[in-house]
Amino acid sequence: MTTLMIQGTTSDAGKTTVVAALCRWLARQGVSVAPFKPQNMALNSAVTIDGGEIGRSTALQALACGLEPHSDMNPVLLKPQSDCGAQVILRGQVHGNMDALDYHAYKAEAMEAVMAAWRSLSERYDVIIAEGAGSPAEVNLRANDIANMGFAEAADCPVLLVGDIDRGGVFAQLVGTLALISGSEQKRTKGFIINRFRGDIGLLEPGLDWLTERTGKPVIGVLPYLHGLIVDSEDSIGTSGTSDAGALNVIVPVLPRISNHNDFDPLRLHPGVNLQFIGPDQPIPPADLIILPGSKSTRTDLDFLHSQGWAQAIRKHLRYGGKVFGICGGFQMLGKQVADPSGLEGNAGSTEGLGLLEMTTSMVAGKQLRNVQGVLNLTATDGAKAEVGFRGYEMHNGVSEGAALTRPLGRINGSNEGAMSTDGQIAGTYVHGIFDEPTACDAILRWAGLNQSGAAVDYQQHRMAQLDRLADQIEQHLDTAWLRELLNLSPIAFTPEDTRHNESFR
């Protein structure tokens, strides 16, 4: 077994995509490979095959390997509930809520879970591609580090450092990071990858030569900036996609604790949808459909929604004939009240909902975590009825009750799922990923007023195409012979016309 860790000079340097690309590149060669992220802080998560919960980006990397996500792949997941506190998920299951200081003191115990999960994966796969978090040069977080060099030292694995040239200052990023880590950590850092390059590589090469001479570390390659790349992200919300003229206008208010915003990636790709994310202090513009997203702190985000004046805007939108759709926490907000008597998502208490659906929600211990499939029952604006299949996953503590649930959006294994208003303008679901299946996406958009069907993207196929696109960049722009040697893999015979090595980095 060999483990290679990819660390970054900053958050969003491209660690996730580089790991996904390496995983896909190896899997395409028949290598038994799995992803691993010791610690992740994100509100985008996925349900695992063993009934746990891991970061969404790690689940994408599992897909790149041709694997079902498993809780061992991301043993520590931190889901922020406030600026200073988070829910701690250990090996897929809720461990409890901690503030930052308490968690810092708990890291030594968390490290035991990290190493146990890594050893378990190592017994099942020949290569582990691990991903760091943030930067290894965050000196204030070095004590008991489990996310970056702390893990690399414990696992005794080599590290490649990724820098984002699109941000500017990439040489300072790389040299500065190397200077701020310990001597042993510098030795295990075997080389650099420069990410998101645009322009003529010839203009960059003198800097690459300088970097190698200065640090004694090789530049393994320079990965290009990939326009139009849409893959599951850890936390950053992507910009809206392009769309045709006369598209359906869809608005998503961005709540402070928005979760699983990857739900909207299929809408970003849909040519008949104009998707807009509306942030703080922005008014909600005229729209056909407003979607309330998932939330890690439903009551806190409800208060924020009211403070922004968005509740009034939603009611006005409905008076003008618009549609409203809620997902998970957003679905709970549509009811009359959200109660959290035990303080599972923050302070105990209850908060008034939007009152748009006849239901109330209570937070109860024992998170619902499951992959689901079912059938939607929707009527389009032209009166056409649609009964189509959907897939997705549930991830929530809330239990909802009320008359609205007798008018379900669909059914799962014969049981009602979600709710609709009596006038058909408002709908909600506990299912994340409900837009991923193209037929389900089309049905919901036709209910919202889109006049076309059959234009939705098969998001699973899109994910695989994007992963193959990333793996192609490894083939074309990195020194793959060097990588195979680092991973203790046998070399591949090349024909004279093979262009998978960039000669600048051999």
Residues in CB range of 432: below 8 A, 6 or more apart? 260, 263, 294, 327, 328, 392, 393, 394, 395
Rounded to whole angstroms, the Cα distance separating 34 from 346 reads 35
Angle (nearest 5°) at CA 400 between 394 and 402? 140
Rounded to whole angstroms, the Cα distance separating 493 from 483 reads 14
Identify the bridge partners of residue 162 per DSSP, sorted by sequence position.
8, 193
Residue type, 213: E
HSE (side-chain half, CA atoms, 13 Å) at 21: 24
**DSSP string of 321-335, one letter each residue:** T-EEEEETHHHHHTS
Q: Report the sign of the C-alpha dihedral through residues 280, 286, 291, 292, in that order.
A: positive
Helix (H) or strand (E) holding 376: strand 360-379
Rounded to whole angstroms, the Cα distance separating 489 from 483 reads 9
Neighbours of 70 (CB within 10 A): 23
Rounded to whole angstroms, the Cα distance separating 491 from 202 reads 28
Per DSSP bridges, beta strands 337-340 and 294-295 are unpaired
Residues catalogued as catalytic: 328, 432
- Are residues 494 and 500 in contact, defined by beta-carbon separation less than 8 angstroms? yes
- Are residues 219 and 211 in contact, defined by beta-carbon separation less than 8 angstroms? yes
Residues in CB range of 146: below 8 A, 6 or more apart? 38, 39, 76, 107, 110, 111, 114
